[in-house]
Amino acid sequence: MNWHEYVNATGKVPEWPYPVRYEKENIVTSDVLIIGGGVAGCRAAISARQRGARVVVADRGFTKRSGSGGAGVDHWHGAVRNPCSKVTPRMYSEAAMATTDGYTNGLVRYIVGKEGWDTLLETEQMGVQIRDETDEFKGSMFRDEETKLLFAYDLENKHCLRIYGANIKPCVDREMRRVGCDVYERICVTSLLTEGGKKGARVIGATGVHDRTGEFYIFKAKSVIVSTGKTQRLWCFAPELRESQSMYNLDQSGMGHTIGWRAGAEFVLMEMTGPVELTGTGYAPYSTGNNNNTYQGVSVVDKNGKVVKYADAYGNLIDTEEGIFKPSQEGSFFIGWGIALDHERMPAHRINLTDPNLWEKVRAGEYEQPFYTDMTSLSKTSRDIIWRLMLAHEGKCRVPIYEQFTAWGFDPKKHLLQFPVGDYSLWSIDCAWANPQSGPANWRAGNGGYLIDWRLRTTLPGLFVAGDGPIASQGCHGESQTAGRYAGRQAAIFARDIDAIEPDPEQIAAEKARCYMPTKAKGDIGWKELNYAVARIMQDYCGEYKTEHTLDMGIRRMKDLLETEGKRMYVSNPHELARALESLSLCELGVAYMEGAKARKASNKVLGFYRYDYPEDTEEWHKLVAIKQTAADAVASRGLAVDYHLQAPYAPDLEDNYQRYSESDR
């Protein structure tokens, strides 16, 4: 029942079910502290523990199902070293760099290429099925008969695997607990603790507030990993409208970014934003007709049953099912979809999509809406591998899609699934449910994150990152697991022979006072109202087009919001307190994004970054811009090469760096 039903039925308002102990201190000590227990954090915890570190994980939710990967996964990018793959880690990293003009993370892509397959094999040991064990797909073009691996997207190069990952998070979570990591759930981490309480100094712990009891946590550690999610609540906050239409839950407050920003870490690509795809105005993931991503390979037909063909990246229509899974260019390979790579720049690496002239053909009367996903015309194995494997295992698909659809009688042998009807001249139909145009252009999603070195260490000593949020443009599920596993190793090596430092009592006292202010203020601003206001500022002042003056205005508005309404918050219980602390942190994070935008004095098409006052996309600005907070109101920026990971002090070659840093001591 919901709250309203309970109140109507009993005439009583339920009391908060947990003991409320605001400000009660808990001190938790470890070698390695991991902030964020999603797939990256759990893998980091396991590998740090395996290196002998005492590991504590602080998670906002409950690690069995928390995080973006908590609801499953159907394919694994970057397993390029699987025995069937024709792609090498170098090819993978270089293709990622090429498709983004360098505005991605070449070193993480290389690490993912080197270790993605090993990470997946370990996942198999943890209980996740990654092969066609029952020979259900024997003889199919998607399968390798010897290894029983199943491939997605690119059957020539076989570097992306279909996996049965609906239970992947419970398996990884179970392993994390089995190896002896201590997990603290329902912790909203609020700050990093630094040596002497100073900005820019070594990170030696964190503070947090419990979502149920309101208790205060002081985590002390020799090294810390931030493995949190993206920053989804900044531009686009609409929980009442959003419903199931999101691949990101509300816990993605960007807190992992904010705490590092406040501690003085350097960030890159903060100016890189794009139209938000998953707003409250669209469709539940995978719930409509679709022919891309997890549905890749289905047939599409129009109202009259006329088939819409796929086309390669050069617009050539494809006539065979095999052709859909073949790269556009001889000798090339598909790189992933949905892992922050701009395929338009490098068509040779683009997945095959719908006929690009479809909408002209609709206007000319050749096709009529609606369109439908047609799995009836596929062979049994092709249909089953999409519907019963991919759609039953992809994130947020097992229950909301597979179980719901089948409970209501959907049968892909008989039924066609309808695409949304609309003005498709605005968007491609390929991933119709994600439909970028469903949100206004000034509702953005941020891509930036921590500047990192070959050890996945930030510019703050002792602070490492993992996961697709804090690592700028890093990737998705498989990459997060792989980078997490690597970061855990590095953080354990760092912690192994360094002494712990006691945190500064003044830093803790100041943070504690900040955290509990909403429980004391006689406020009139709820956490949602503050979050809506943050989003308004971001939409108005940090939308698609920017100027120095309006960015300055936005920063001023955000600081004003923090100092005015932010001091007048009310909370009813610890859950609301944690949400309020997230909303307050968004004010600081919004400033960080606007500072990032200010620091780039040129427009840049690849970054989706447009300035009225600097409209030119110049070669001089073809670089990364790193920003950091040096004092409460001071920001420093500097430029660095997009391939900084191959420049001094690093070696000029990917593999040399990997050999030098992947296992070595500090």
Q: Which of residues 232-251 bind other proteins (CB under 8 A)?
A: 239-246, 248-251
Please report whether residue 134 would count as binding other proteins according to CB under 8 A. yes
**Least Cβ distance, residue 295 to other proteins (angstroms):** 14
* Among 399, 509, 513, 641, contact with other proteins (rule: CB under 8 A): 399
Calpha distance 213→609 (Å, rounded): 43
Residue 403 as a binder of other proteins (CB under 8 A): the answer is yes
Q: Is 530 in the site for other proteins (CB under 8 A)?
A: no
The one segment of 56-64, 201-209, 451-459, 490-498 that binds other proteins by CB under 8 A: 56-64
Is the Cβ of residue 221 or residue 581 nearer to other proteins in the bound state? 581
Backbone torsions φ then ψ of 578, nearest 5 degrees: -65, -40
Least distance to other proteins from the beta carbon of 383, Å? Answer: 11
Matching residue, tokens 């994600």: 434
With binding defined as CB under 8 A, does residue 213 bind other proteins? no
Q: Which is nearer to other proteins, 166 or 602 (CB)?
A: 166
Q: Which of 186, 257, 600, 645 binds other proteins (CB under 8 A)?
A: 186
393 binds other proteins (CB under 8 A): yes
Complex with other proteins: residue 415 or 622, whichever CB lies closer: 415
Interactions with other proteins, residue window 568-587 (CB under 8 A): 575
Residue 7, both tokens: 């109140």
Nearer of residues 307 and 510 to other proteins, judged by Cβ: 307
State the binding string over 614-653 for other proteins (x if CB under 8 A, else -): ----------------------------------------
Closer Cβ to other proteins, 167 or 547, answer by number: 167
Could you count the other beta carbons within 10 Å of the beta carbon of residue 563?
10
Answer yes or no whether residue 121 interacts with other proteins by CB under 8 A. no
Minimum distance of other proteins from residue 588's CB (angstroms):
22
Q: Which of 23, 62, 317, 549 binds other proteins (CB under 8 A)?
A: 62
Instruction: Catalogue the E-assigned strands of 211-317.
Output: 216-220, 223-226, 267-268, 273-275, 299-301, 307-308, 310-311
Question: Cβ distance 47 to 485 under 8 Å?
Answer: yes
42 is an interface residue for other proteins by CB under 8 A: no
In the bound state with other proteins, the residue whose beta carbon lies nearer, of 4 and 632, is: 4
Choices 262-270, 391-399, 438-446, 597-605; region in contact with other proteins by CB under 8 A: 391-399
Q: Which is nearer to other proteins, 331 or 409 (CB)?
A: 409
Instruction: Give the span between the Cα atoms of 21 and 293, in whole angstroms.
Output: 46
Counting Cα atoms < 13 Å in the Cβ hemisphere of 110 gives: 22
Looking at the DSSP assignment, which residues form a beta bridge with residue 224? 33, 463
Window 325 to 384, contacts with other proteins (CB under 8 A):
372, 374, 376, 384
Which of 51, 54, 64, 262 contacts other proteins by CB under 8 A?
A: 64
Of residues 536-575, which lie at the interface with other proteins (CB under 8 A)? 575
Q: Which of 343, 417, 405 is nearest to 100 (CA)?
A: 343
Helices 255-263 + 574-599 axis angle, to 10: 60
Which of 3, 330, 505, 634 forms a contact with other proteins (CB under 8 A)?
3
Kind of pairing between the strands at 161-162 and 150-151? antiparallel
Q: Give the residue from 36, 27, 43 showing the smallest Cα distance to 60.
A: 36
Shortest Cβ 435–other proteins spacing (Å): 11
**Residue whose CB is less far from other proteins, 22 or 644:** 22
Calculate ∠ Cα 70-658-487, nearest 5°.
30
Among 31, 154, 195, 211, binds other proteins (CB under 8 A): 211
| Contact predicate 620/605, CB 8 Å | no
Q: Which of 267/372 has CB closer to other proteins?
A: 372
Q: How buried is 622 (Cβ within 10 angstroms: 0-12 exposed, 13-18 middle, 19+ buried)? A: middle
For the chain, the maximum distance between any two Cα atoms, rounded to a whole number of angstroms, is 73
Show contacts with other proteins in window 141-180 (CB under 8 A): 164, 166-167
The residue length of the chain stands at 666
Residue 526: both structure tokens together:
């709820």
The packing angle between helices 89-99 and 654-661, to 10°, is 120
Interatomic CA distance for residues 452 and 105, integer angstroms: 9
Nearer to other proteins, 22 or 464 (CB): 22
Q: How far is the CB of 164 from other proteins (least distance, A)?
A: 4
Q: Are 361 and 369 in contact (CB under 8 A)?
A: no
Quick one: which of 30, 45, 58, 70 contacts other proteins (CB under 8 A)? 70
Choices 12-20, 190-198, 257-265, 334-342; region in contact with other proteins by CB under 8 A: 12-20
Q: Kindly tell me which of 306 and 638 has the beta carbon lying closer to other proteins.
A: 306
Instruction: Decide: is 406 part of the binding site for other proteins (CB under 8 A).
Output: yes
Q: Does 133 bind other proteins (CB under 8 A)?
A: yes
- Compute the C-alpha angle 339/345/142, nearest 5°: 50
The per-residue DSSP string of 604-653 comes to: BTTTTBEESSS----GGG-SEEEEEEEETTEEEEEEE-TTGGGSTTS-SS
Whether the Cβ atoms of residue 45 and residue 236 lie closer than 8 Å to each other = no
Task: Give whichever of 136 and 504 is closer to other proteins, judged by the CB atom.
Answer: 136
Q: What are the Cα distances from residue 640, in Å, to 186, 194, 620?
A: 38, 26, 11
Q: Is there binding between residue 531 and other proteins (CB under 8 A)? A: no
Residues 6+ away with beta carbon under 8 Å from 510: none
Residue with tokens 């990917």, as numbered in its chain: 654
Fill in the per-residue mask, 276 to 295: x = in contact with other proteins (CB under 8 A), - = not in contact.
-------xx--xx-------
Q: How many CB atoms lie within 10 A of CB 312?
A: 20
Smaller CB separation from other proteins, 109 or 383:
383
Radius of gyration of the chain (CA): 24
CA dist., res. 101 & res. 132, Å (int) = 37
Q: Which residue's CB is nearer to other proteins, number 397 or number 460?
A: 397
**Of the two residues 397 and 495, which places its CB atom closer to other proteins in the complex?**
397
Least distance (Å) from other proteins to the CB of residue 513? 25
C-alpha span between 146 and 144 (Å, rounded): 6
Beta-carbon contacts of 269 under 8 Å, excluding residues fewer than 6 positions away, are 103, 447, 448, 449, 472, 473, 596, 607, 624
Q: Which of 310, 402, 424, 516: binder of other proteins (CB under 8 A)?
A: 402
Asked if residue 304 binds other proteins (CB under 8 A), the reply is no
Tokens representing residue 607 in the block: 């970054």
Minimum distance, C-beta of residue 599 to other proteins, in the bound complex (Å)? 33
Structure tokens at 142: 């998607």
Q: Candidates 59-67, 343-351, 560-568, 586-594 — which segment interacts with other proteins by CB under 8 A?
A: 59-67
Q: Which of 82, 129, 332, 480 binds other proteins (CB under 8 A)?
A: 129
Q: How big is the CA angle at 570 (ends 565 and 575), to the nearest 5 degrees?
A: 120
Among 41, 67, 106, 436, binds other proteins (CB under 8 A): 67
